[in-house]
């Protein structure tokens, strides 16, 4: 009887030691095993959008990147992280998103393994936004004959243990706010969280997402606020996403709706979007102009 209770005691102690050992190992491994998301800030007084994701095995994924003048900060960042981009996603070809990319794509010191984008014909861009001829031309010149991977809706690109699911691609049938509405929408899923990148979508693309068969995928922990936080996606879309955290690729004057004569003196709709997020009880807003944010994801 005594022997039996001693054996049970020994087993219990062994199990406790094993659990403690496993806990120690997992705590030790964790710092090397984290994926991170970086939100870049503007280096000029122009609005921009740029993000990077580093996987647990140090694969580097870029999403947009900002204006031509933001290229230098991005180049330095990529070089500090091994000079190789495993995948570069472009939401749409406006220069505040792809300007930096056009300066890096032909940089011989940086290797870009894959470019994912949903690109319309050059003629479609020129017809729908003729005032942007120069930006359109410089994007297509920079791309040259480089291979662009053209994902389809519901495609899932997996890099390490992170999924990039495509919820929306170009929609050339929408010609109002044409290029913004043709933004590719990407849902990033990690074992820990989900992040929705909306690019610069507007009302029409918001409705398309709400009416389409990817609606079930919209709900996300974190959302990149569309069109820099104003005159972008609709309140109905954000309600469906129901985010806990917002990433604002926004510059200070736009956040404050300040045309130069004080808060709320401008024509922008940022305050409206800020109110929506308050109503949705968003817990944290990360503002690109404040500092470069790095989140564990």
- Residue 70 in the binding site for Zn ion (CB under 5 A): no
Shortest reach from residue 229's CB to Zn ion, in Å: 10
Residue 225 · residue 269 · CB < 8 Å: no
Stretch that binds Zn ion, among 64-72, 111-119, 196-204, 262-270 (CB under 5 A): 196-204
- Residue 96 in the binding site for Zn ion (CB under 5 A): yes
Of the two residues 135 and 200, which places its CB atom closer to Zn ion in the complex?
200
> According to CB under 5 A, which one of 200, 204, 217, 256 is a site residue for Zn ion?
200
Shortest reach from residue 183's CB to Zn ion, in Å: 9
Residue 244, class by beta-carbon neighbours within 10 Å (0-12 exposed, 13-18 middle, 19+ buried)? Answer: middle
C-alpha distances (whole Å) from 171 to each of 99, 155, 176, 181, 209 are 22, 16, 11, 7, 11
Stretch that binds Zn ion, among 4-12, 190-198, 199-207, 279-287 (CB under 5 A): 199-207
What x/- string results for residues 222 through 251 when contact with Zn ion is judged by CB under 5 A? ------------------------------
Using CA atoms, how far apart are residues 206 and 63, in angstroms rounded to an integer?
20
Of the two residues 46 and 219, which places its CB atom closer to Zn ion in the complex?
46
Stretch that binds Zn ion, among 143-151, 184-192, 197-205, 259-267 (CB under 5 A): 197-205
# binding residues, Zn ion (CB under 5 A): 2
Strand locations in the chain, DSSP E? 36-39, 50-54, 60-64, 84-85, 87-89, 111-112, 115-116, 156-159, 162-168, 185-189, 194-197, 222-224, 245-248, 284-287, 293-296
Q: Write out the two tokens for 57.
A: 């095995």
Of the two residues 42 and 151, which places its CB atom closer to Zn ion in the complex?
42
Of the two residues 229 and 243, which places its CB atom closer to Zn ion in the complex?
229
Shortest reach from residue 49's CB to Zn ion, in Å: 6
Using CA atoms, how far apart are residues 21 and 28, in angstroms rounded to an integer?
11
Stretch that binds Zn ion, among 5-13, 36-44, 94-102, 276-284 (CB under 5 A): 94-102
* Helical axes 133-143 vs 95-104, angle rounded to 10°: 30
Shortest reach from residue 190's CB to Zn ion, in Å: 25
What x/- string results for residues 152 through 191 when contact with Zn ion is judged by CB under 5 A? ----------------------------------------
Of the two residues 55 and 224, which places its CB atom closer to Zn ion in the complex?
224
Shortest reach from residue 275's CB to Zn ion, in Å: 21
Using CA atoms, how far apart are residues 158 and 208, in angstroms rounded to an integer?
25
C-alpha distances (whole Å) from 157 to each of 75, 151, 282 are 24, 9, 28
Residue 184 · residue 90 · CB < 8 Å: yes
Measured in whole angstroms, the distance separating CA 23 from the mean position of its chain's CA atoms is 33
Of the two residues 61 and 98, which places its CB atom closer to Zn ion in the complex?
98
Stretch that binds Zn ion, among 89-97, 104-112, 155-163, 206-214 (CB under 5 A): 89-97
Q: Write out the two tokens for 144.
A: 């040259």
Strand partners, 165: 156, 187
Of the two residues 70 and 200, which places its CB atom closer to Zn ion in the complex?
200
Using CA atoms, how far apart are residues 209 and 213, in angstroms rounded to an integer?
8
Shortest reach from residue 119's CB to Zn ion, in Å: 16
| List of residues contacting Zn ion (CB under 5 A) | 96, 200
């Amino acid at each position: 009887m005594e022997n039996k209770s001693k054996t049970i005691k020994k087993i219990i102690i062994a199990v406790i030691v094993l659990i403690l050992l496993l806990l120690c190992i997992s705590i030790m491994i964790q710092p090397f095993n984290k994926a991170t998301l970086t939100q870049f800030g503007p280096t000029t007084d122009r609005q921009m959008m740029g993000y990077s994701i580093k996987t647990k095995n140090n694969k580097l994924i870029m999403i947009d990147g900002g204006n031509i003048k933001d290229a230098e900060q991005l180049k330095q960042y990529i070089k500090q992280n091994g000079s190789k981009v495993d995948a570069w996603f472009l939401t749409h070809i406006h220069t505040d998103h792809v300007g930096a990319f056009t300066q890096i794509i032909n940089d011989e010191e940086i290797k870009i393994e894959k470019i994912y984008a949903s690109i319309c014909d050059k003629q479609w861009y020129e017809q729908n936004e003729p005032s942007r001829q120069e930006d359109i031309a410089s994007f297509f010149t920079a791309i040259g004959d480089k291979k662009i991977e053209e994902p389809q809706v519901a495609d899932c690109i997996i890099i390490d243990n992170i999924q990039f699911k495509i919820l929306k691609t170009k929609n050339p049938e929408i010609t109002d706010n044409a290029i913004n509405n043709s933004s590719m929408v990407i849902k990033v899923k990690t074992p820990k969280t989900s992040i929705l990148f909306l690019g610069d979508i507007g009302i029409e693309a918001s409705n398309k997402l709400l009416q389409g068969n990817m609606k079930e995928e919209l709900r996300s922990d974190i959302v990149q606020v569309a069109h820099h936080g104003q005159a972008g996606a609709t309140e109905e879309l954000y309600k469906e996403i129901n985010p806990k955290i917002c990433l604002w690729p926004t510059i200070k004057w736009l956040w404050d709706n300040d045309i130069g004569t004080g808060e709320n003196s401008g024509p922008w709709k940022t305050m409206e979007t800020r109110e929506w997020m308050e109503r949705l009880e968003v817990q944290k807003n990360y503002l690109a102009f404040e500092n470069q944010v790095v989140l564990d994801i």
